[in-house]
Amino acid sequence: MAVRSCLSGLAASLLIAEAAVAQPNPITSTSRLWLEWNVTPNSQWAPGSVDPDADLDRTLNVLKLQPIFPFRLNEDWTVLTRTIFRFVSAPSASPELDLTPLGEPLVLGWNQRYRPGLSDVSPTAFFVPNLGPDWTIGLGPSLVIPAGDGPTDSGKLSVGPALLGYYHRGPWTVGARMRNIWSVAGNPQRDEVHRFIAQPLIRYQFSKNWFFTSSPIMSSDWTHPEGEGWTVPVGGGLGYAFKLAKQPMQISVEGYYNAVKPTVAGEELLGDWTIRTQWQVLFPK
């Protein structure tokens, strides 16, 4: 009887272990089609030293299409790819020109307008070891490919390392992804690029459908004078997971207060708040 009880306990332990091993990693086992819209009202196109009539009455719109695809190399490694296509409508202006009595060009003022279009494209590939269902850690290269000529485009081909790390267990997912890029080629008339981007993530699943999420995009432009190139938002929002015609999806609405903003000629041009709306279509394997 004791032997049978011992064998039964061993069998139960093996079944539990096999179930844990069989549980998929939620990040490397799911492809995603991710649409994200960031709106920052009360922004300004240029400092007052450039345009005295520039006011904090413009709106910056950034629409991101982010397809995410995991490719399993073998039992031990997965390549997780994430490409960001940015469509930007940014406040800008064109000069109103005239000539002086001596025939020299004279700027009478600025015609403020929006310049929409495709901005820089950023592909990243993370090499992720299989650490089980609770951990996702990856390292790989990241690129920035100049694809437009708008006011927010870098005009430079940039490259650098990228890192991600997430812990996900039960209702919690906590972690971050980050990268640092340097320009290596591109338009010689554009400024050099040296930029750091980090996006921490805290997510808590209240129920089968509702969840809290906070994933502010923090960045630093290292080419700015010390301390003047940081953007640090603070906030979060609520999301809802559901199925439409048996297709898993999730949506969320978030608000972020830009607690720290970069300065240009001593002025902060970015608005105080950014509203983010996200829609993800999930393709579990």
What confidence category does residue 190 fall into, taking pLDDT thresholds of 50, 70 and 90?
A: confident
Is residue 212 within 8 A of residue 238, CB to CB? The reply is yes
| Domain carrying residue 9 | 2-284
Q: What is the DSSP string of 13-45?
A: HHHHHHHHHHSPPTTTTEEEEEEEEEEEEEE-S
pLDDT tier, 99 (very low <50, low <70, confident <90, very high otherwise): low
Q: Which DSSP string corresponds to 255-285? A: EEEEEE--EETTEE-S-SEEEEEEEEEEEE-
pLDDT value of position 206: 94
User: Per-residue pLDDT tens for 230-260?
Assistant: 999 999 999 999 999 999 999 999 999 999 9
Per residue in 199-214, pLDDT tens? 999 999 999 999 999 9
Q: Model confidence over 113-157: pLDDT tens digits?
A: 787 888 899 999 999 999 999 999 999 999 999 987 666 788 899
Is residue 97 over pLDDT 80? no
Predicted local confidence at residue 15, as pLDDT: 41
CATH number of the structural domain spanning residue 274: 2.40.160.40
Mean pLDDT in residue range 258-270? 90
- Classified as helix, coil or strand, 2 is helix
What pLDDT score does 98 carry? Answer: 61
- Distance between CA atoms of 123 and 194, rounded to whole angstroms? 17
Q: What is the pLDDT averaged over residues 101-110?
A: 65
Q: What is the mean pLDDT of the chain?
A: 87
- Average pLDDT of span 219-226: 88
The H helix count followed by the E strand count for the chain is: 1, 15
pLDDT score for 151? 66
Number of domains in the chain: 1
Higher pLDDT, residue 107 or 22: 107
| pTM recorded for the entire structure | 0.86
What are the backbone dihedrals phi and psi of residue 26, each rounded to the nearest 5 degrees, phi first? Answer: -70, -20
Read off the pLDDT band of 102 (50, 70, 90). low
